[in-house]
Structure 1
Amino acid sequence: MTTAKQISAEERSAAEDAVLLSELAEALRRVRRGDLKVRLPRRAGVAGEVADAFNEVVSVQERQHLDLRRISRIVGRDGRLTERLDEEGLDGAWAEGQRAINSLIDDLGRPTTEIARVIVAVADGDLSQHMALEIDGRPLRGEYLRIGRTVNTMVDQLSSFSNEVTRVAREVGTEGELGGQADVRGVAGTWKDLTDSVNTMASNLTYQVRSISQVTTAMARGDLSQKITVSAKGEVAELAHTINGLTDTLRLFAEQVTRVAREVGTEGKLGGQADVPNVAGTWKDLTDSVNSMASNLTAQVRNIAQVSTAVARGDLSQKITVAAQGEILELKDTVNTMVDQLSSFADEVTRVAREVGIEGKLGGQAQVRGVSGTWRALTENVNQLAGNLTSQVRNISQVSTAVAKGDLSQKITVDAQGE
């Protein structure tokens, strides 16, 4: 028969089991709601083992939850791809779950690290790197494969773009080979716009430099009819405007110099001056030099003409007084010397003619120093004339005097001709 004591123990155990089950149900509901702080109080016997087992399961879940939050923050936010979940002390599905997440981080980290390696190389200007499409013996798949191929295509396009731009820049900017164009195949969007911009720049530079070269070459050959007509902006437009202005200035300068040279040198129209407005620097100096030359020549030639005209009119009082150098100075000295000699010659001939022909002073001779050529011959002829006349007149006088004295033995023996 069952005693009252036994019934009381069974009732007490049933009551404790009911309390445990109620607490366990409430704790499980809290765990399901995400409350991992819940714990069952410690008990003796089987109920205590159940409570301890529950508490261990919840502790493992809480630890895993905290570890997942930690790894999410460190890997996902801080970007530290070397961090992993702690698998120590875990077995079975718990350890498998940790290893699965760690494997996921590995699978996510390796392509990301590879992408970062290539992007860093590109940022450093190294376009020789490519993203490996097989990592640790495992080929990339899905989105990672697509991203890898996209990154490698981008690197190839950048490399091709860089090579072509460098080639065009070297040919046009360094080697002077105009007309070069960048050829980057398969590009679109910004890369195509950049390629087109580089080619437009190279094309514009080619047209502009060739036009400038054509005009300057024509200018160097003396053809001042060319102008830079290519479209340009900024400093190139300023250069084109400057060269065109230079061409206009040179053409006007050439026309004015040619006109002055023709008038002064060919047509004999003295006093001409070159009129080149708005010039400065060397061009103003050249214009002033041409005008100074024309002015000097005008003054010199007019002075020489004035003296020559005076000489032709018998006026030997004029002298060339204009400032001169070089051959003009030699000509000035020669003409002035000639005037002096002509004046001296005229004075001496006049004196001898007056003495011999008017005053009857025979024996006079013209003294003209430093003459030669015709002037010396003329001086000698005048002196010979005076000498002959002196000899003849004196011989006639001697014979006439003797006759007057009754001496008829004298005869005129001097040489004479004509009358």
Structure 2
Amino acid sequence: MRAARDGNFTKAPHTSSGLVAELVTVFNELVDRSTHFDSELLRVRREMVRHGRLDERFTASPGQGSWATRIIEVNSLLDSLVAPATNATRVLNAVAGGDLTQRVDLHDGSRELRGDLRRLGRAVNTMVDQLSLFTGEVTRVAREVGTEGRLGGRAKVRGLSGSWRDVTEAVNTMASRLTAQVRDIALVTTAVAQGDLTRTVTVEATGELLELKLTVNTMVEQLSAFADEVTRVAREVGTEGNLGGRAHVRGVSGVWKDLTDNVNFMADNLTSQVRNIAQVTTAVANGDLSQKITVDARGEILELKDTVNTMVDQ
């Protein structure tokens, strides 16, 4: 009994009979029940610590009363500690799987989480709430800009810090830059459609948007050069009467080159026709009736050619 008092639960040797034998038997049963509790404690500790089995519990004691109550209380203590961790694990697994609808229940049945366990549950729930808010805002901005074409949207997420705040600011920066770039390009192309060739895309851009910016600006420059040259040739020929003018537009191709060539072809034909008519009429005015108009002509110019040649013949 002194050894048991000092923590050494060694069974007493059996005696033959009598009250001492009965006392030894009862003492050894007491040692067995204490040993059972100790072995259960070691077993559960080993399963939880080494193998991570949080569902392991003490088996029922062979005794009653405080022995059974002790087992029940220890198992209840384990349940109270393990349940919040299991609940938090369930929520974190749901988050890892993309499910942001799960939360840690702070009221587990009739028991309410308190102290550090409650702080753990609230921390997990706060994290999920922030993730849900962040995801919802980013999804909204992406839908408005990418699907609905509504520029200017921004993700508004309060209370975020660290990486979540950095990601939110990066999304907003992306949306703002994209909005500015697209609106500037739209402004310039709208001006071109309305005949204003004085605007160019000035917003900062990189990558493919930079290529688009340079393409639009090149288009505006070519259109401006083309319009200036055509206007100059038309003014020289039609208004000032200076024949022989040609439109010179560098770097154009496709339709713009065809239009430039057509304008120059029209100017060349008009120049040769008018000059030939002027040459003949000048000769007639000088008394020379040996010259006729030989330049190719059509339409009203052809009629004028035939009229002048008939006049010369007559």
Report the TM range for the smaller structure's normalisation.
0.7 to 0.9
Displacement of 1:223 in angstroms is: 1.9
Displacement of 1:276 in angstroms is: 2.2
Q: Say whether residues 1:119 and 2:54 are aligned partners.
A: no
For 1:258 and 1:100, locate their aligned partners in 2 and report how far apart those are by CA, in whole Å.
Answer: 99
Counterpart position of 1:132: 105
Cα deviations by residue, 1:43-63 (Å, 9 ceiling, x for unpaired): 653698888778766766666
Q: Say whether residues 1:172 and 2:177 are aligned partners.
A: no
Residue 315 of structure 1, aligned match among 271, 289, 294: 289
1:108 alignment partner AA? L
1:357-396 to structure 2, matched below 5 A, reads none
- Taking a change above 3 Å as real, the CA distance of residues 94 and 330 of structure 1, as seen in their structure-2 partners, is same
Counterpart position of 2:74: 101
8 Å CA contact 2:155, 2:172 repeated in 1: yes
Counterpart position of 1:290: 263
- 5+ residue gaps in structure 1? 1-20, 323-327, 347-419
- 5+ residue gaps in structure 2? none
- Taking a change above 3 Å as real, the CA distance of residues 184 and 78 of structure 1, as seen in their structure-2 partners, is same
Residue 242 of structure 2, aligned match among 269, 279, 291: 269
8 Å CA contact 1:304, 1:332 repeated in 2: no
Displacement of 1:138 in angstroms is: 0.8
8 Å CA contact 2:244, 2:268 repeated in 1: yes
- Taking a change above 3 Å as real, the CA distance of residues 277 and 54 of structure 1, as seen in their structure-2 partners, is farther
- Taking a change above 3 Å as real, the CA distance of residues 129 and 296 of structure 1, as seen in their structure-2 partners, is farther
For 1:340 and 1:253, locate their aligned partners in 2 and report how far apart those are by CA, in whole Å.
Answer: 38
Cα deviations by residue, 1:340-379 (Å, 9 ceiling, x for unpaired): 6446x54xxxxxxxxxxxxxxxxxxxxxxxxxxxxxxxxx
Cα deviations by residue, 1:224-269 (Å, 9 ceiling, x for unpaired): 2223223333333332233223222222222112112212222222
Cα deviations by residue, 1:252-308 (Å, 9 ceiling, x for unpaired): 222112112212222222222222223344433333333333333333443444455
1:125 alignment partner AA? G
8 Å CA contact 1:303, 1:320 repeated in 2: yes
For 1:307 and 1:50, locate their aligned partners in 2 and report how far apart those are by CA, in whole Å.
Answer: 154
Counterpart position of 2:195: 222
Cα deviations by residue, 1:90-123 (Å, 9 ceiling, x for unpaired): 5455544433332233112321232223223333
1:221-240 to structure 2, matched below 5 A, reads 221-240=194-213
1:45 alignment partner AA? S
2:74 alignment partner AA? I
Displacement of 1:170 in angstroms is: 3.1
- Taking a change above 3 Å as real, the CA distance of residues 339 and 280 of structure 1, as seen in their structure-2 partners, is closer
For 2:270 and 2:91, locate their aligned partners in 1 and report how far apart those are by CA, in whole Å.
Answer: 81
Counterpart position of 1:45: 16
Q: CA RMSD in A?
A: 3.7
For 2:261 and 2:50, locate their aligned partners in 1 and report how far apart those are by CA, in whole Å.
Answer: 80
For 2:32 and 2:281, locate their aligned partners in 1 and report how far apart those are by CA, in whole Å.
Answer: 135
Residue 248 of structure 1, aligned match among 221, 246, 269: 221
Counterpart position of 1:147: 120
SS in 2 for 1:45: coil
For 1:145 and 1:97, locate their aligned partners in 2 and report how far apart those are by CA, in whole Å.
Answer: 26
Q: Say whether residues 1:157 and 2:126 are aligned partners.
A: no
1:177-196 to structure 2, matched below 5 A, reads 177-196=150-169
SS in 1 for 2:289: coil
Counterpart position of 1:330: 299
Q: Which has the higher contact order (CA 8 A, sep 6+)?
A: 2
Q: Say whether residues 1:110 and 2:79 are aligned partners.
A: no
- Taking a change above 3 Å as real, the CA distance of residues 126 and 306 of structure 1, as seen in their structure-2 partners, is farther
8 Å CA contact 2:33, 2:62 repeated in 1: no
8 Å CA contact 2:33, 2:61 repeated in 1: no
- Taking a change above 3 Å as real, the CA distance of residues 274 and 70 of structure 1, as seen in their structure-2 partners, is farther
- Taking a change above 3 Å as real, the CA distance of residues 82 and 263 of structure 1, as seen in their structure-2 partners, is same
Greater shift, 251-260 or 289-298, is seen at 289-298
- Taking a change above 3 Å as real, the CA distance of residues 79 and 43 of structure 1, as seen in their structure-2 partners, is closer
- Name which one, 1 or 2, has greater alpha-carbon Rg: 1
For 1:42 and 1:67, locate their aligned partners in 2 and report how far apart those are by CA, in whole Å.
Answer: 25
Greater shift, 41-50 or 229-238, is seen at 41-50
8 Å CA contact 1:307, 1:320 repeated in 2: no
- Taking a change above 3 Å as real, the CA distance of residues 266 and 73 of structure 1, as seen in their structure-2 partners, is farther
For 1:236 and 1:69, locate their aligned partners in 2 and report how far apart those are by CA, in whole Å.
Answer: 67
For 1:265 and 1:125, locate their aligned partners in 2 and report how far apart those are by CA, in whole Å.
Answer: 72
Cα deviations by residue, 1:189-234 (Å, 9 ceiling, x for unpaired): 2333233323322322332222222222222222222232233333
For 1:68 and 1:200, locate their aligned partners in 2 and report how far apart those are by CA, in whole Å.
Answer: 58
- Taking a change above 3 Å as real, the CA distance of residues 74 and 329 of structure 1, as seen in their structure-2 partners, is farther
Q: Say whether residues 1:200 and 2:169 are aligned partners.
A: no
Cα deviations by residue, 1:52-87 (Å, 9 ceiling, x for unpaired): 778766766666555445434544454443332322
- Taking a change above 3 Å as real, the CA distance of residues 101 and 288 of structure 1, as seen in their structure-2 partners, is farther
- Taking a change above 3 Å as real, the CA distance of residues 58 and 261 of structure 1, as seen in their structure-2 partners, is farther
